[in-house]
């Protein structure tokens, strides 16, 4: 015989289903609203980038903040990357009698992948958090609102110089990290051997083609654009509370790091198709 389900249980089940449906719908709505907000933010940046009144002084200032003040960190990191990569790879190549290939292997690894990606991830932590916190604090203290009320354009003065500065300086920092990485590799080579710098450079660039530099430099521009855009978006759209500054800085780092890895994955697939 069929059992009759109590009406109270049916009502509770209906309420649970409706609540879960509303919750899923609200999550979808939030995602769609955030996506639309990002696209509108990008459209504003593109529109104001090609309009008159470019803030050149602010752009130079941001290049100094993003690029010059990051040289020390990138110098240490790049040198250590080359040093560690050489020390870790040397025993394996020694087993196969291919120790002469060590400088070239390190050079290709640094130029194609290690240099641009690790530099971008470091800059995502340093630059992304800095931009997010700075713009977030300006939003909390209502400085951005004051600019909008006074008919000033915060997009043109605050956002565009930071995005363009990050887009320009990240590739420069990546090339600089590659050079310091090769210097670190030469130091690592001479820890358990002896190889002069001229011979090391000859072996390192013996099988490196110009085409090896092109994809790495191109994707570095995208890394810089992603880091600048994410930091500016999170800071510019921060909440009103003081805790929003920390949230903007933290989410800028996490989101920018994830997007850097995603862009690198796409760039590798495109490069594999054409090369």
pLDDT digits (tens, 9 = 90+) for 18-76: 555 555 566 677 767 877 888 888 888 888 888 787 888 989 999 998 888 889 999 99
Q: How far is CA 272 from the centre of its chain?
A: 22
Per-residue CA distances from 12 to 25, 26, 87, 241 (Å):
20, 21, 65, 38
Tell whether 31 is covered by a domain.
no
Domain of residue 52 covers 40-274
- 1-15, 72-86, 196-210, 232-246 — most confident range: 72-86
Q: How many domains is the chain built from?
A: 1
For residue 4, is pLDDT > 60? Answer: no
Tell whether 128 is covered by a domain.
yes
132-162 tens-digit pLDDT: 999 988 888 888 888 888 878 888 888 999 9
Tell whether 21 is covered by a domain.
no
Tell whether 213 is covered by a domain.
yes
Percent of the chain residues past pLDDT 70, beyond the cut = 89
Phi, psi of 84 (to 5 degrees): -65, -40
The neighbour count for residue 119, using CB atoms within 10 Å, is 30
Q: What is the per-residue pLDDT for 143?
A: 87
For residue 243, is pLDDT > 50? Answer: yes
Handedness of CA 153, 158, 162, 165 (dihedral sign): positive
pLDDT band at 11 (very low <50, low <70, confident <90, very high): very low
Tell whether 148 is covered by a domain.
yes
107-139 tens-digit pLDDT: 988 998 889 999 999 999 999 889 999 998 888
Tell whether 142 is covered by a domain.
yes
Tell whether 219 is covered by a domain.
yes
pLDDT band at 1 (very low <50, low <70, confident <90, very high): very low
Q: H helices of 50-127, where?
A: 56-66, 71-95, 102-109, 115-123
Tell whether 125 is covered by a domain.
yes
Q: What is the per-residue pLDDT for 16?
A: 52
Tell me the pTM.
Answer: 0.84
- Arithmetic mean of pLDDT over the chain: 84
Q: What is the per-residue pLDDT for 20?
A: 54
Residue 264 CA to residue 223 CA, distance in Å, equals: 8
């Amino acid at each position: 015989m069929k059992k009759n389900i109590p009406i109270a249980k049916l009502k509770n089940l209906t309420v649970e289903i409706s609540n879960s449906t509303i919750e899923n719908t609200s999550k979808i709505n939030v995602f769609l609203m955030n996506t639309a907000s990002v696209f509108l933010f990008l459209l504003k940046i593109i529109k104001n980038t090609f309009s008159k009144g470019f803030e050149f002084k602010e752009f130079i200032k941001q290049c100094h903040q993003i690029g010059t003040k990051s040289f020390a960190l990138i110098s240490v990191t790049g040198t250590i990357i080359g040093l560690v990569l050489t020390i870790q790879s040397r025993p394996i190549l020694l087993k196969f009698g291919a120790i002469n290939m060590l400088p070239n292997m390190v050079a290709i690894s640094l130029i194609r992948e290690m240099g641009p990606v690790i530099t971008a991830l470091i800059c995502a932590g340093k630059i992304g958090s800095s931009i997010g916190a700075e713009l977030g604090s300006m939003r909390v203290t209502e400085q951005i609102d004051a600019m909008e009320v006074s008919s000033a354009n915060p997009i043109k003065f605050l956002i565009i110089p930071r995005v363009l500065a990050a887009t320009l300086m990240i590739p420069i920092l990546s090339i600089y990290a590659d050079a310091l990485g090769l210097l670190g590799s030469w130091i690592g080579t001479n820890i358990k051997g002896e190889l002069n710098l001229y011979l090391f450079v000859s072996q390192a660039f013996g099988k490196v083609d110009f085409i090896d530099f092109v994809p790495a430099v191109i994707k570095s521009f995208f890394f810089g654009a992603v880091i600048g855009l994410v930091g500016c978006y999170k800071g510019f759209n921060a909440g009103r509370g003081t805790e929003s500054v920390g949230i903007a800085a933290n989410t800028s780092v996490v989101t920018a790091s994830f997007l850097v890895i995603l862009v690198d994955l796409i760039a590798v697939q495109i490069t594999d198709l054409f090369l």
